[in-house]
Structure 1
């Protein structure tokens, strides 16, 4: 595991060469694919670092998304907008994410978990579009820090009780009582903010709207997955309280996801709509993680990966429209089917992925989540049905409003897309639709 961490550190010395750094990140992702093909039980342990199947998937996703972030931010290099500092920030973010997903100690995990906030804040404040990016950065900073201090206190208390902070060695808190409930809430609240859970999600739309394309892609692609990953790591510590709180988490996830889905139907900003849709998807992921079952956790991980690829690509598409039209408002940037006909195919493919149409990873994950939630309690069927229906509704609303109609009268001619942009879209779409073949072959062979 250390060799991939060293690879991330060595990328710092290539920040002066844009194309070289792109190639290094892509090569690192391919090397990581072929190096750990065996079974995962925190193998390759070294200096408190190791991977299992969840962290392996998320590290690979981090490599891939950061490589596509650099590829899609070519305009920063063309305009000489502090491109070396931008590359350094991306590499620092990648190293912090690799450390977060491969560490096996709770305290080290906390440090790396919080350190990923700093490069993201620099991306938003340094390369954002409008003066309101300062307010968006403050929202993100204080929402995250508000939950981080109770998490640190929880880990220190865990060490005083168990004498160890190593994953799977710290003893579980199986008792159910008021103290256990407070301890459980302090531990999970930081991850719920990062997920983000409904009621603590307001920082996400603000951050997305003001962030550059790189910040939006990283937020949607990887950083939202830190909350789910943290819940997976600490849920085994609170089995007793977790079982008692499952109904509350599932109710909040389904109800919040349905409410946010309805809110998506009245959005006029493309990035705000995609950001709110991320909250709706993460509501279903929260339900799967709180089921304490293999079907729920497996489905949640698959949805997290599928959402990371699909939502990141949608933000990339929105940025391509913004660079040509000069606005993200759907009342201004409508009629794109006539204005950019070649790009409309990608809008259709990614909209289909966002509503979990076959053959995307989102479909596989949502099938597992729906089966897990409904088998846990049949009373959750109505919430799942509302969430799935409105998810398709706001996706169709986004596609029809942006692609159909008469385009803005001040637009006369435009390039329908560059080869670099189509390459970025293809590299998002291929894993989203081809990885599902692995599961299909597994079921056919078994």
Structure 2
């Protein structure tokens, strides 16, 4: 079971009380709702749309739909990207009477071999009309907000020399370098705090992330945290990046663009890999390194061959923290067991009891933004997916666009930081400041 480790209170922020699924939970101001929920023993946050299978945390980076909750009357907010605040009210979604105990979960049992909803009850027009009414009541995720928005968000415009998209190790290094060369620089990052995979790697850790974030700010970088790049429009005045933050929107115009969007954690293919208790290995590392939360006492790490070094570092850190860790090659994994939460796995060697399954796979490059700008991408299995194609200087096929770090193929936190600094040097030279 997940538990907080002693000695981390100083970095968690001020203690606050939040309500999760009707229960009062002790949390901290510098952690997410998802981290607080897991540490308090909350295991299921919502249910899947069709079969009402239990859903909960997976990536802890805002890139999956496992932790969508209703927060303060607003539906479909990602719990891992919502900071804890005193009095916050968090509710599960798509379940009756609760996410933990959902009567509609019977659908998964009754249609264990699958359900073709297109032909359900179509033999009779009367039954079909009845089925449509029922389905309309059951479908959809969340309910409309209690109070309608009355004002449009403010829109702020930036006209700058360099825009860096992504606040991980590559983005922080690139932004710090360009700002240090007296180029006006904006860094866009969708996480609660910049640092990216630095905050999940026990070989580097939270202190390194905080230090590099501090260096970026001291260099003059304008950091937009909790701000998501929602679209690049190349036909608009030479290219504009639209960015959405909780309180406002941004229109960013830049002379040079650096894509440092990193990679998405991905799941691995094995039976019942969507069961709660199956969490990305990088998320397990993030909980340990950034939040001081040990996600389980008996952890099985299911790994693909491409990330053995990362897994070894994580397994060692988890063991030092007090967990019993077993590494399982993907080829030996046969599936998970448990009702609600994972309690065991089946392997070719037999059954193994556990209270957490950490999935370690090569991250998939987050290349959607560069593609919108016109950057060429290529499918590269070794790189984890569609990586951005760059030359030896990090320049892409689109004018004034560069890419660095894991979006060009997985390098790991240390390698991504080095690549960000290297590419930034060429950007500075191209801007005439080298």
* TM-score bin (small chain): under 0.3
TM-score (norm 1): 0.24
State the structure with more CA Rg.
2
